[in-house]
Amino acid sequence: MMLILKTQILVLDKINYMKSIFFKSITLLILLSNMSCKNEINSKNENIVTENDKNMISEVLKKQLKEGANQYISEAGVEIPKKEFESIELDAVVQIVKEKLNLNGYRVISEDEFKNRIEKIFKRIIDFNSRNKYLYISFLDKCNKEFSMLPSNKIDFYGTYIIKNEKFITDFYFIPELVNYQNDYQEVAKIENSLSSKIKNENGTECSIEFWKDISDLSNQRQSNIQKIMNRNKFLFNDDKASLTWLKTNDVEFLEILVKTFGYVEDKELTKFVLDKNLKDDEEFGKVIWTKTCDGKLHFNEEIVKIIKDSPQKYIEPVENYLRYLYNSNDSDLAFSQKAEIMGKLAYHLTKIVDNQSNDYYNFFPSVSSEEFQKEFESKNYYNIKDFQSIYEETKTGGVAYPGME
């Protein structure tokens, strides 16, 4: 009996010992995991600008402070356009933006994913084997692939840069527009105090300089610039919907450029936002409906149809207005066959969406009921849409004709 009792005690002791080892192991794993996570967070938030980068930024900053924020011809008060910036100035921007994105949680995606996103959004092909570090995307002419080194003024030059190896995009900014240089580069910042506000330019004309330190809202501009860079990249490459929300309030022009200039309509929330912003402007409304590729081919944005289906009553009148507008338009960029395709497909889809029980069923195809349109549809085999012809024949005379129509 005593032997059995001792044996039971030994077994219990061994079980308790094993439990102790097990829980200690679990505790150690948790601690190691927490340390790993903490190290990962720290690695994301650490300063990734090296001393060499800082030296480069300092040299660029000196140059830009000496040149001033703006220069004016003294007597006339006319602002002098900025010259081309140097490649090292763009290099400095890239290092600063890289750090800002890192500190704000931007996730760097793979080369293949970045390449696919750029092609889908901006219709540009990236060659990672090319020696060119950057590509320029013009917002004024999407087909112009010439590299620009002039600051954007939204009239002559306006665009952004694809930073291939770092896998993000950024506009060009002067360093004071991104960095609190008076705090982060105090020694360099002192240069402004010793500079004269009067200089003679290369033509010998006396000019006055506006220094960066004298721009009253520079801090707000800087914050806005950083937010734009961060949210553009996180939306386009990290699928961050919070960033899209920010852009819809603070960077509407960029969102409209994505849809209306480059024809990026694969993000439904983005496309609906831009479509709704342009319901009362027929010309701009059309830029959401269709785009042309750089080789002149028409692309009708079928994704718009899905949006209209969700709430058709909201879009019936804008579509009717646009059909009327395009019918009377003499847009030299559109051949008649392209014009007919846009109007025909738009009329077809809206007629299908409202269905034959609606009072609006006969409102769309009458805009393209003339013999000229009919012959064009026939020559294109009704765009290979199986019920296009039957719906066209049924509805083309059911509405009120526009002036000049047969």
Arithmetic mean of pLDDT, 100-117 = 96
Give the pLDDT band (50/70/90) at residue 21.
low
Query: In DSSP terms, which residues pair with 209 in a beta bridge?
Result: 71
Query: In DSSP terms, which residues pair with 206 in a beta bridge?
Result: 200
DSSP string, 343-355: HHHHHHHHHHHH-
- For residue 36, pLDDT beyond 70: no
Chain centroid, CA 330 distance in Å: 31
**Residue 285 one-letter amino acid:** F
- For residue 299, pLDDT beyond 90: yes
Q: Would you state the pLDDT for residue 13?
A: 54
- Phi-psi category of 150—alpha, beta or left, where left has phi over 0 and alpha has psi -120 to 50? beta
Query: In DSSP terms, which residues pair with 244 in a beta bridge?
Result: none
pLDDT in tens, 139-158: 999 999 999 999 999 988 99
Tell me if 170 sits within 8 A of 160, measured CB to CB: yes
Arithmetic mean of pLDDT, 51-69 = 94
Tell me if 263 sits within 8 A of 275, measured CB to CB: no
Question: How long is the chain?
Answer: 406
Radius of gyration of the CA atoms of the chain, in A: 31
Q: Tokens 């010259």: give the residue.
A: 83
- The residues, ordered by sequence, that sit 6+ positions from 358 with a Cβ below 8 Å of its Cβ are none
pLDDT in tens, 300-332: 999 999 999 999 999 999 999 999 999 999 877
Tell me if 338 sits within 8 A of 298, measured CB to CB: yes
Tell me if 363 sits within 8 A of 320, measured CB to CB: yes
- The residues, ordered by sequence, that sit 6+ positions from 295 with a Cβ below 8 Å of its Cβ are none
- For residue 43, pLDDT beyond 80: no
Q: Which pair of tokens denotes residue 322? A: 């646009």
Q: Which residue has the higher pLDDT, 35 or 195?
A: 195
Distance CA 157, CA 82 (A): 11
DSSP string, 134-186: EEEEESS-TT------S---SSS--EEEEETTTTEEE----GGGTS-HHHHSH
Distance CA 214, CA 387 (A): 67
DSSP string, 281-348: -HHHHHHHHEEE-TTS-EEE-THHHHHHHHSHHHHHHHHHHHHHHHHH---TTS-HHHHHHHHHHHHH
Number of Cα atoms under 13 Å in the Cβ half of residue 192: 19
- For residue 4, pLDDT beyond 80: no
Distance CA 337, CA 352 (A): 22
- For residue 391, pLDDT beyond 50: yes
Give the pLDDT band (50/70/90) at residue 25.
low
Distance CA 13, CA 20 (A): 10
Judging by beta carbons within 10 Å of its beta carbon (0-12, 13-18, 19+), is residue 13 exposed, middle or buried? exposed
CA neighbor of 101 nearest in space, from 36, 47, 164: 47
Q: Would you state the pLDDT for residue 15?
A: 52
Give the pLDDT band (50/70/90) at residue 177.
very high
Q: Would you state the pLDDT for residue 32?
A: 47
Q: Would you state the pLDDT for residue 316?
A: 95
